[in-house]
Amino acid sequence: MVSTLFMIIVTAIVCLLPRILPKAETAFFLCSLAGFIIFTIAVLATSKPKQPGSVVFTDFVNQTGWSDGTAFVLGVGTCTYAFLGTDATTHIAEVRFSSKT
């Protein structure tokens, strides 16, 4: 019931007040950015044990049994799967809209 009411309100805003959408999107983006910054600062300020930057950027411990290069490529390669869906959708949209012109 609540979700239906929410969808009706949102649809009414989009259909009846389209001029406020760009301002609302900017406000939502700024709130999201502010929330990210505040959350990051709060987490970093309240965490007790801190490691030096060398632990993240210079020390590399490979316990996988693979060579260092192979372990790096496998680690980076698995991250690409998160972007495949959005990438495919973007290319489909490019093809669809470029064929209309």
pTM flag (> 0.75): no
Residues 6+ apart with CB under 8 A from 14: 21
Neighbours of 13 (CB within 10 A): 13
pLDDT digits (tens, 9 = 90+) for 18-28: 898 889 889 99
Element (H, E) at 16: helix 2-16
Structural domain spans, the chain: 1-49, 51-101
> Where does residue 46 rank: exposed (0-12), middle (13-18), buried (19+ CB within 10 A)?
exposed
pLDDT digits (tens, 9 = 90+) for 33-53: 999 999 999 998 898 888 888
d(CA 18, CA 22): 8
